[in-house]
């Protein structure tokens, strides 16, 4: 189960064989079935999670029972609730497997320890955080300035693989657009093809 | 003009007298009049900007001539287009003074140099980036899940000082809510008081 992670981290070209061994020595591999929760609202996020296989989502349950999806994470990406992880406060999110998934986990203590002894891992971590910040800025810009049609099209272009694998109501919930509006847009596009 | 920055950076408790001198040695102080641009769409963002006095905003001009406001920055905060600054690519934003303002600037080269010789500045930088990421996540959640009323109320609560200093149409443009909707909400609240 560590194979995908080894490939991923070597592709990043930042760590040596010895450092990879060090990282794996502190890692735990786990499988989650579809709909199982990895993190539950109210818990404190204790792990960095790398997705080796499958598809996860971070979502928030609103008081009226509807869901807001903050993030999808497919193979070769990381998923964590940053706020809860960094501040060690209860999370307001859930992390759930959308498909049967395999993940690699590091406890916060172990991961922070690795950051101290592997400077290139700290660099990678910083770079991923910068990428995340840029993506967040782009998403905010899209949220506040784009039409529903533009939001839908941008999602299809940016995440074709995720789009293929999740139901339309989850895309609606990620974009902050109603399910009805998104159905209407998709039908209009299909008629136009 | 460096006074506010000195107080700010000492409050953060992270740098020594010698390090403050080092930072100021690489800094340039500048004044901008209301409506002057500090960064213009298409330029590359070359500076870290600290706001000593006044109020700035980052905005994007849409093709139809309307504006989308990404950020307000008042005294004792930083403003930069991260994407353009980190990747050295042309920015899609403008940074403009909303009030007569005083800022302190570091070129990217100088600031990167300071990060290398002042480890605590790198820590502060990382902490600010994490805070920024958390705030972005909260803003995305608000964007995609809150009603217009909730968005308005959250802005008033989170940024009472900025709210007092900017016209309502700028708040509307920051929230991604139409000016008419926001006027309606404000009138309804005023009637309710």
Cβ neighbours of B173 in A, within 8 Å: 144
Choose from A67, A112, A136 for mutation: most chain B CBs within 10 A.
A136
To 10 degrees, the CA torsion angle through A153, A156, A158, A163? 150
Any CB–CB contact under 8 A between A136 and chain B?
yes
For residue A93, pLDDT beyond 70: yes
CB atoms within 10 A of CB B192: 6
Confidence of residue A12 (pLDDT cuts 50, 70, 90): confident
User: Which chain A residue lies closest to B175 (C-alpha atoms)?
Assistant: A144
Cβ–Cβ of A133/B68 closer than 8 Å? no
Any CB–CB contact under 8 A between A82 and chain B? yes
Contacts of A47 (CB under 8 A, 6+ apart): A80, A85, A105, A106, A107, A108
- The confidence score (pLDDT) of residue B193 equals 64
* ipTM > 0.85 for the complex: yes
Question: Could you give all domains of chain B from N- to C-terminal order, each with its CATH number?
Answer: 3-118 (2.60.120.10)
Among B60, B137, B174, select the one facing A136 at the smallest CB separation. Answer: B137
Q: Which residue from A11, A93, A9 is spatially nearest to A45, judged by alpha carbons?
A: A93
- pLDDT tens string A109-154: 999 999 999 988 988 998 899 999 999 999 999 999 999 999 999 9
Q: What's residue B137's pLDDT?
A: 95
Tell me whether A179 touches chain B (CB under 8 Å). Answer: no
Residue B92 pLDDT level (bands cut at 50, 70, 90)? very high
Contact list, A141 vs chain B (CB under 8 Å): 60, 68, 70
**Residue B177's closest chain A neighbor by CA?**
A144
CA distances to B8, B10, B49, B111 from B107, in Å: 20, 21, 9, 6
Q: What is the mean predicted confidence (pLDDT) over A76-88?
A: 94
Measured between beta carbons, the chain B residues lying within 8 angstroms of A82 are 130, 133-134, 137
Spell out where B43-119 has E strands: 47-53, 55-61, 67-74, 77-79, 94-97, 101-107
- Whether chain A has a CB inside 8 Å of the CB on B119: the answer is no
Q: How much of chain A exceeds pLDDT 70, in percent?
A: 99
Whether B60 sits inside 8 A of A132 (CB atoms) is no
In angstroms, the separation between the Cα of residue A62 and the nearest Cα of chain B is 8
Pairs of CB atoms within 8 A across A/B: 72
What's the whole-number average pLDDT of chain B? Answer: 93
């Amino acid at each position: 189960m560590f194979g995908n992670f080894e490939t991923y981290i070597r592709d990043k070209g930042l760590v040596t064989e010895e450092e990879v061994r060090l990282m794996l020595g502190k890692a735990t591999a786990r499988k989650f079935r579809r709909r199982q929760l990895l993190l539950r609202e109210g818990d404190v996020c204790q792990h960095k999670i790398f997705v080796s296989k499958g598809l996860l989502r971070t979502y928030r349950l609103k008081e009226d029972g509807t869901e807001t999806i903050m993030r999808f994470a497919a193979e070769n990406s990381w998923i964590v609730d940053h706020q809860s992880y960094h501040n060690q406060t209860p999370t307001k999110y859930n992390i759930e497997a959308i498909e049967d998934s395999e993940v690699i986990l590091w406890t916060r203590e172990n991961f922070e320890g690795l950051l101290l002894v592997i400077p290139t891992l700290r660099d990678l971590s910083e770079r991923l955080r910068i990428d995340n910040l840029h993506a967040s800025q782009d998403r905010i810009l899209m949220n506040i300035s784009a039409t529903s049609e533009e939001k839908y099209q941008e999602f299809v272009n940016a995440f074709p693989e995720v789009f293929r694998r999740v139901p339309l109501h989850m895309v609606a919930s990620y974009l902050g657009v109603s399910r009805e509006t998104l159905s209407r847009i998709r039908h209009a596009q299909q008629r136009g093809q």
